[in-house]
Amino acid sequence: MIRAESNAIQSHLDSFNKFEKFFDLSPDLLCVAGFDGYFKRINPAVCKLLGYSAEELMSKPINEFVFYADKNNTASARNELRKRVPLFDFENRYLTKSGDIVWLLWTSFPVENDEHVYAIAKNITYKKELEEERNLHLAELTKMSNDLKELTYTTLHDLRSPVNNLLSVFELLDTSKIEDSETQEYLSILKSTSESLKQTLNEYVTILNKKNENAAPIEKLNLRESLDEVLLSINSLIQNSHTTIDVDFSQLDTVNFNKAYLKSIFLNLITNSIKYVKPNCLPTISIHSDNKSGKKQLIISDNGIGFDMEKVKDKIFKLHQKFHNHIDSSGIGLYLVYNHVVNLGGHISVESKVNEGTKFIITFKD
């Protein structure tokens, strides 16, 4: 009988020692607090985080260690615990002995019989710092977006006025009095280019307005018609650079897309191909469509100077990234192309080698 009782006592002591070991070695903050607002017991993790000894932490009311801005809500939470209401996912801040602020996430259970609260806390300071950093970045991005939107509206507005004035001049101009056919042709090109520019500006204003309504207008577009509008607007550039453009839309002649976006894609990729031609070489551009395995694609390739894809990698579509020392390089064109595609659910990839040209493969959303 005595041996049985001794074994039971030993078993109880072993269990208690295991609990003590768990309590002391736990990386989480474990503590027992009284209804009087003082710590009654704490594990070493609490002391390590806050920088106080156990004696220091238990000698003062808990609220003296709480960050001043959280004292009231912490006191309110403690009152709820006194009413036997458990506390889950409660966050507050503590001041360490060195003056640093740490964020803790608490789960606490009151025990009515001995007026104690058993609590466990996790250090979530790193998480909170990440959230704060993310919120700061979001605020900065929001400001940048608003500034860019305002700048875009201003630019579009300011550009439309001189374009309208230029078109007014053409209306007043009596071309029948011009006998030189070459001059008439140049004036015709200049007028059509101005009209195209006006249309493009108006379309971008429409897009900006639609974006404020969280939607860019989507319509069924004929690839050839959209391309021809762009080619007409840069006809002089194409002729002066002696650029050859091969077009084949036999596999896919229409796509559901935004008209201004599609024209911008054609414009930026074609002018880039002309701009970054190899020395002593005439630009050759291939523009064709594909529709295989349910993928509707637009492929635009050239014979230009290309990119070192190992160096460029994912920077190619970033804003203000320049990979060639060209006087007209702004690092905006490919950024716009990328955003036009992905904003409407599509995908764009690049294949390129130095002095072997570049191929852009645009996959439209189904």
pLDDT tens, residue by residue, 151-185: 666 666 567 657 766 777 777 777 777 878 888 78
pLDDT tens, residue by residue, 256-286: 999 988 998 998 899 889 988 998 899 999 9
Residue 319 or 277, more confident: 277
**Who contacts 102 (Cβ-Cβ below 8 Å, separation ≥6)?**
49, 50, 93, 94, 96, 123, 125
Residue 8 scores a pLDDT above 50: no
Sort 160 into a burial class: Cβ within 10 Å, 0-12 / 13-18 / 19+: middle
CATH number corresponding to 216-366 = 3.30.565.10
Give the residue-averaged pLDDT of 287-307.
92
Dist CA 323 CA 276 (whole Å): 11
**CB atoms inside a 10 Å sphere around CB 173:** 12
Phi, psi dihedral angles at 84 (to 5 degrees): 70, 30
By percentage, how much of the chain surpasses pLDDT 90? Answer: 40
100-109, 335-344, 357-366: least confident range = 335-344
**Who contacts 228 (Cβ-Cβ below 8 Å, separation ≥6)?**
none
CATH number corresponding to 2-123 = 3.30.450.20
Give the DSSP per-residue string, 264-293. HHHHHHHHHHHHTPPTT---EEEEEEEEET
User: Residue 153: its pLDDT value, please?
Assistant: 61
pLDDT tens, residue by residue, 40-56: 999 999 999 999 999 99
Q: How confident is the model at residue 9 (pLDDT cuts 50, 70, 90)?
A: very low
**CB atoms inside a 10 Å sphere around CB 342:** 13
Q: Among candidates 277, 339, 267, 336, which has minimal Cα distance to 303?
A: 277
User: Residue 161: its pLDDT value, please?
Assistant: 58
Q: Among candidates 52, 12, 15, which has minimal Cα distance to 31?
A: 52
User: Residue 327: its pLDDT value, please?
Assistant: 45
Gyration radius from the chain CA atoms: 35
